[in-house]
A and B are shown apart, each in its own frame.
Chain A
């Protein structure tokens, strides 16, 4: 019996059914039959250019990472079947933590089974109901969910607005609990880059802790790929860095790195760290290999920068509404959901896959076509995607 159980989904059902009725295919049901390379996959039987992934350096298809995974599977098996604090820590897990600490130039690193859990596990271990969290209004769901799990009071500040944060910190200066500020390096939906250096100034002035989620910027920004804080020369002012393996590193998993020695106890109080199985050894081995590749091939980052510039310029020139930041994520903002659905379907039919992002998951309640570029894209592939955008925008009467 499910009496009353699903009534709460009625609104969702109504919006979902309206969406499906208005679209020739389910935008949340796209199946990539298989990838042919980092930049091309088979969708609906056709070769399709992938411009909606987080595979910024193309390393999900790295030969070295594949070899490492195969070798590890054949010597160690496919899973650990246990928690990091019980039977789920192999020497590979500690090796990856040590290597990440070196690469990130932090004393300690904890790895989690996903980036989502890295945020849940870090935030909920750092603050509790007596504390106050200050979140950028456009924070990722994993940060909001971590906040809920922690029970801390949450105060939102305006997106990428250090002056707004400053005001809000001043208003809570007499609060008795700890205060933690969280921002992201690159925002996943819009590609906006945070002024982390300015946030460091504000948090220092108020003597509060700063955590930065570099999920989309690790391996991407900064001379060594450590992220936006490296690029802006303010890593010393960042207390905790969170990130994921599922984007530039091409695998799955997450981490938190810090110079604070107290992190050792986080392993014994972070529920999303303890009450889940650790990453399988082949994932750890392939992540280690991808990490080496990021270190050994800075030209991947250079290429990604060039490609980001090319995609951004191209979409801007088409007359569509894009953001101002040059980053590997470029979002085209559209007016309403029907327009976004039509555009997205037309792109897919033209052989270009991008992410369709709908409110309320987008800022400002407007739909986005989220495009992301990789180091693995050729200039021709980028031009082809831009041409598809330009052509469809004209046909739909959105641009002249």
Chain B
């Protein structure tokens, strides 16, 4: 099964909201560093959690281009498709 980008986006948002420090009003266009106040280490650690849920591994260089939650969802979708 391959989730759509929108499905992945919802999974990410649900996981983010499990963290009480994350603002409640986030959506697919929220910027991970600016709007969520994640530093690079926090981003890497969060991505590890999502990787387990979706059973993918994201190479670090891919993270450099990611700004928003939707960017991350798109990236995960592509990797998952390539891995299938």
List the interface of chain A (C-beta within 8 A of B): 132, 137, 147, 153-156, 158, 167-168, 171-172, 174, 359-360, 365
Contacts and interface: CB of A to CB of B under 8 A. Distances in A.
A53 to B, nearest CB: 26
Given A156-B48, A171-B83, A365 B42 contact: yes
18 contacts: A132-B59, A137-B44, A137-B48, A153-B59, A154-B59, A154-B60, A155-B58, A155-B59, A155-B60, A158-B48, A167-B52, A171-B55, A171-B56, A171-B57, A359-B41, A360-B39, A360-B40, A365-B41
Nearest to A359: B41
A171 B48 CA distance: 14
Contacts of B42: 365
B56 A154 contact: no
A154 B58 CA distance: 8
Q: Which 3 A-B pairs have the closest CB atoms?
A: A153-B59, A154-B60, A155-B57
Contacts of A156: 44, 48, 60
Contacts of B65: none
A132 to B, nearest CB: 7
Contacts of A167: 52, 55
Interface in B36-81: 39-42, 44-45, 48, 52, 55-61
Contacts of B61: 153-154
Contacts of A137: 44-45, 48
A172 B56 CA distance: 9
Interface in B1-44: 39-42, 44
A350 to B, nearest CB: 32
Contacts, number: 36
A132 B59 CA distance: 8
B81 to A, nearest CB: 13
Given A360-B41, A365-B41, 5 more contacts: A137-B48, A153-B59, A156-B44, A156-B60, A365-B39
A103 B62 CA distance: 41
A317 B44 CA distance: 34
Nearest to B42: A365
B43 to A, nearest CB: 11
A158 B47 CA distance: 12
Contacts of A132: 59
A155 B59 CA distance: 5
Contacts of B48: 137, 156, 158
B39 A172 contact: no
A217 B60 CA distance: 28
Q: Which of B40, B55, B57 is packed against the most chain A CB atoms within 10 Å?
A: B57
A137 B60 CA distance: 11
A148 to B, nearest CB: 9
A132 B57 CA distance: 11
A23 to B, nearest CB: 22
A16 to B, nearest CB: 16
